Amino acid sequence: MLTANRSDIGRVRHVNEDQSWVSQLNNGITIAIVADGMGGHQAGDVASQKAVDAFRSMLEQSAAKADLSLQEGKMLIRQAISQANEAVFEMASRNERYHNMGTTIVAALVKQDNAIIGHVGDSRAYKIKEGVITQITNDHTLVNELVKSGQLSAEEAAHHPRRNVLTRAVGTDSQVEIEVQSVEWSPEDVLLLCSDGLSNLVSEQQMLQTVTTEQLELEAKADHLIQLALHAGGDDNITVVLLQEAGSTNRGE
């Protein structure tokens, strides 16, 4: 598996509250996570780091078994995000400075012919396959709820002043509802995980063009996506993770 993991503070923020991590286990499974923290007084970066650490410590051990089934993979992603929720919530409960801090999470566990995606919040996963980009995750935001109920159009939602208001996040409550799904995965596919610092400023068409260009290696594609967000204003932290099988044809060699 080829992987690229890039993050930038952006042009406006003083702290990067995004955290990401990618690992390839000995059994051929690749795990990735992007977390976008929130909370005053730099609590956001504490929340996202705490969440990624908790997620990582559980999955590095438990996902390393030789014959991990699809159901086990889904259960592990759910448990790891739940563990991250407990870790952040407990820390916020103990320390007044971190009161109400939380984080989004989008995570992937990629094995052979399946990618298992778990998420809470509005950090996103996209799959690029045969020249088509598909958003896999469903934003847990107030505005998206209004779109789904027909009260807002997608165009209105994109520019709505409250589009960043989350309906759920990791660490703000003792329990959180976690969305877990699996998608088919083949060697030519590319998985893109990102914080909303990318998806709010870079269109799906721009993402698709960047990922499918044959002139760039995978890491350069991730760098280019960050640059597109910066050129578009860079008003938030920007994090991008790209995953692609090493044997793929459009690697740009």
CB 65 within 8 A of CB 133: no
pLDDT for the residue 15: 93
pLDDT for the residue 247: 60
Position 252 pLDDT exceeds 50: no
Joined together, the tokens standing for residue 28 give 């051929």
- Structurally, the chain folds into a number of domains equal to 1
Mean pLDDT, rounded, of the chain: 93
Residue 105: which of 60, 27, 53, 152 has the closest Cα? 53
CB 243 within 8 A of CB 211: no
Rounded Cα–Cα distance for residues 19 and 159 (Å): 26
pLDDT for the residue 253: 36
CA distances from 143 to 1, 149, 170, 172, 242 (A): 36, 10, 19, 19, 27
User: For residue range 133-166, what is the model confidence (pLDDT) as tens digits?
Assistant: 999 999 999 999 999 999 998 888 888 888 889 9
* CATH code, domain with 68: 3.60.40.10
Residue 22: which of 108, 84, 114 has the closest Cα? 108
Task: Compute, in degrees rounded to 10, the torsion defined by CA atoms 45, 7, 144, 164.
Answer: 50
Residue 95: which of 52, 53, 170, 41 has the closest Cα? 41
Joined together, the tokens standing for residue 43 give 């609590």
Joined together, the tokens standing for residue 133 give 């980009």
Range of the domain at 43: 2-251
Position 250 pLDDT exceeds 50: no
User: For residue range 42-99, what is the model confidence (pLDDT) as tens digits?
Assistant: 799 999 999 999 999 999 989 888 889 999 999 999 999 999 999 999 999 999 899 9
